[in-house]
């Protein structure tokens, strides 16, 4: 019987192993991949949870797999599909602050980040929304000193993710 391995959500920039079938790695260009298996035979497979991209700041995350789970005991034709979603690297950074900055610098999707946590980068599914806000004034551990938000470069909040993004809060020292 024919056992077919397919994928959805990957594009031609996908690179590296997508699925390993009976120990043999298959890449984007191998899809769809079919294998003939005798009745009662077994096929083991594992889709990669993350597939890299040739585009910087992009990757693909395995969202689900449809079809019988591994190992498959073959009793008829079968198709297994790995369903992927594109993800992009989102980064929040700062300029103008130093190690004397205290407290929250930026809040991203209700998660607070201090000076020591920046830059803060994470992968986000295509089409997702991200909200953020930079603190307008950041305290300093040095007396009579603080940092004022001068500008923010990058996309405005909320961001609908369609590519890799870096957002930077630019601060100036006030005395």
* pLDDT value of position 137: 98
Rounded to two decimals, the pTM is 0.89
Return the sign of the alpha-carbon dihedral for residues 103, 106, 110, 111: negative
pLDDT in tens, 58-115: 999 999 999 999 999 999 999 999 999 999 999 999 999 999 999 999 999 999 999 9
- CA nearest to 94, candidates 123, 122, 111, 117: 117
In the DSSP assignment, the letter for residue 134 is: E
Confidence of residue 170 (pLDDT cuts 50, 70, 90): very high
Looking at residues 129-146, what average pLDDT do you find?
A: 97
pLDDT digits (tens, 9 = 90+) for 21-51: 999 999 999 999 999 999 999 999 999 999 9
Residue 110: CB atoms within 10 A of its CB come to: 7
d(Cα 14, Cα 27) in Å, to the nearest integer?
8
């Amino acid at each position: 019987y024919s056992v077919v391995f397919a994928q959805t959500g990957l594009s031609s920039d996908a690179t590296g192993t997508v699925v390993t079938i009976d120990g043999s790695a298959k890449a984007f260009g191998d899809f769809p991949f079919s294998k003939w298996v005798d009745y009662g035979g077994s096929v083991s497979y594992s889709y990669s949870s993350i597939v890299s991209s040739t585009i910087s700041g992009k990757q693909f995350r395995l969202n689900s797999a449809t079809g019988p789970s591994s190992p498959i005991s073959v009793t008829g034709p079968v198709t297994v599909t790995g369903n992927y979603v594109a993800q992009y690297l989102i980064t929040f950074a700062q300029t103008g602050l130093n190690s004397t900055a205290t407290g929250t610098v930026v809040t991203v999707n209700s998660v607070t980040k201090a000076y020591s946590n920046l830059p803060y980068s994470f992968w986000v599914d295509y089409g997702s929304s991200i909200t953020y806000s930079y603190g307008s004034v950041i305290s300093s551990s040095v007396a009579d000193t603080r940092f004022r938000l001068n500008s923010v470069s990058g996309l405005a909040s909320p961001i609908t993710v369609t590519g890799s993004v870096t957002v930077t809060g630019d601060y100036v020292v006030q005395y």
